Amino acid sequence: MILPLLPLSHVFLGLTAIAWKASARATLIAALIIDISLLAMAFSPAAHWLSGLSVGGWVDVIGIRLTLDLLARDFLLLTVLLELAVVVYIWRQHVRPMFVILLQFLVGSVIALILSQDLFNIYVILELLTLVSFLLVAYDRRTFQIWASLKYLILASLGMSIFLLGVAVVYANVGSLGLAAIGQTVIADPHAEWIPLAAALLVAGVSVKAGILTFSLWLPDAHSTAPAAISALLSGLVIKMGVVVLIRLAAIFPLGLVLQILGGITGIGGAIYAMSSRDLKRMLAFHTLSQMGYLLIGMSTATHNAANGVLAYALAHGSFKALLFLAAGTAFDAVGSTNIAHMIHTRHLIPLRTRAALLLGTLAIVGLPPFDGYIAKAPLLAAAHGWANQAILVLIGIGTAASFLKLLPLFKGPYRRVGNDPAWQSYVILALPILLFLPIERALFGAAFVLPAMNWVIAMESLAVLGVGWLVFRIHRRTEARPPEGLLRLETATAAILLGFAAVYALLKFA
């Protein structure tokens, strides 16, 4: 019954802050108090009391339904974690109240989205999310931020109108917008004529927001140019919102093959671009794409463990990617550039804790066994059936390892104390899940879920992938081959969305 209050409280806080010009810190403290109570509510034993009829008790066909399921809890945890880390990160910085207000709107709409069970509600919230992140990307008003941000808005808006077409097709055939009702209709007649078109429109529309190639060619620019705290939120959290919608859609429509193919393209394409990028933030942004590949492959495998693996990996990726972006931001402040060669050259100027954070994030993202990247990847590897899925996962792993090995010289000496590290507490917050992922997963998904991570075959496989990644890195270092950057231009990205839609449709219709 009181589920709508969860997002509305953040929204209300944001509006209060802007109307009464509250100071940034007061707003942040209030936001944290709200977050803690949200978490307590969501994970309390009485949580089932929260979900109920549609919002406001209106007629079920027309009204909007919200639920607090496992997926919502998982992402709620991620949201609160990232918000906490970002709040700590910007605590000492001089931020304008506007930043904090937009942050509240962002968190509010994220929470609303993970609860929502209604297609049109999802559309509205995704648009709100687009607008808020659009404003946040260009927060520093540098021209390349403004351009990246505008490109993002144009492409996302095109995607959302494709999504709206999909909503229309669904509504015309189901007569309701609730996901449950749509699911029932699809189960009743899985070969109905409208399903491929509706599914293709919805998937293509939401893929633009979800960081999936070839739909999300705006992502590298937007995520690499935004201020560090924003990049962390966008890559760790906002991009996952598209994934949330995709998970919900995959539960309704038969999307297995499409997700597998998109996952392959996204994962491998992102890794190839990441391998040849020389800027740390840009590489991280491309890796956001490549890690989406894991999630998509997981989604395409319709087993219980794979589904949980997707949730676990989303949580893990959120934590280490945010850690990497925040540390990259501090490193930029210290040495004035995120060019990897330059960073390595001036590594003695980067504060020690920041370097430690970068190291931890690197170890987690390449999937070294005790860290959360590995623990979350293990169930996906175990659940992936068929050589194609296995091959894609292994290739993404190799690409990730090959590109992050570039950072290794950064961690060599000299280790001198330089400057102070203003935001090290935020690293600690994000390091907690990276180091303590096993108990968290156990608590969320049950004991059976963590078994693959204990399997020594999978552990060996991960190590082997790392080894091959090292080889690829050595070979690739000598070549000057770089994938074309022209793909990321506005016109090409627009055409890629349309082409992607046609391809998804063909797959759903004829395969």
Give 26 or 165: the residue with its C-beta nearer to other proteins.
165
**Chain CA centroid to CA 289, Å:** 9
Backbone angles phi, psi at 423, to 5 degrees: -120, 35
Q: Alpha-carbon dihedral of residues 62, 67, 71, 72, nearest 10 degrees?
A: 110
Report d(CA 197, CA 74) in Å as an integer. 31
What one-letter code names the amino acid at 90? I
Instruction: Name residue, tokens 């990205």.
Output: 493
Give 442 or 509: the residue with its C-beta nearer to other proteins.
509
Give 42 or 138: the residue with its C-beta nearer to other proteins.
138
Report d(CA 275, CA 113) in Å as an integer. 33
For the bound state, the minimum distance from the C-beta of residue 7 to other proteins, rounded and expressed in Å, comes to 9
For the bound state, the minimum distance from the C-beta of residue 317 to other proteins, rounded and expressed in Å, comes to 27
Give 139 or 449: the residue with its C-beta nearer to other proteins.
139
Question: Which one-letter DSSP state was computed for residue 22?
Answer: -
For the bound state, the minimum distance from the C-beta of residue 24 to other proteins, rounded and expressed in Å, comes to 15
Give 413 or 486: the residue with its C-beta nearer to other proteins.
486
Q: In terms of Cα–Cα distance, which of 408, 286, 418, 421 is closest to 344?
A: 408
Give 203 or 365: the residue with its C-beta nearer to other proteins.
203
Give 297 or 504: the residue with its C-beta nearer to other proteins.
504
Q: How many CB atoms lie within 10 A of CB 134?
A: 18
Phi-psi category of residue 141: left, alpha or beta, with phi > 0 → left and psi -120 to 50 → alpha: left
Report d(CA 496, CA 500) in Å as an integer. 6
Q: In terms of Cα–Cα distance, which of 212, 302, 304 is closest to 262?
A: 212
Question: Which one-letter DSSP state was computed for residue 175?
Answer: S
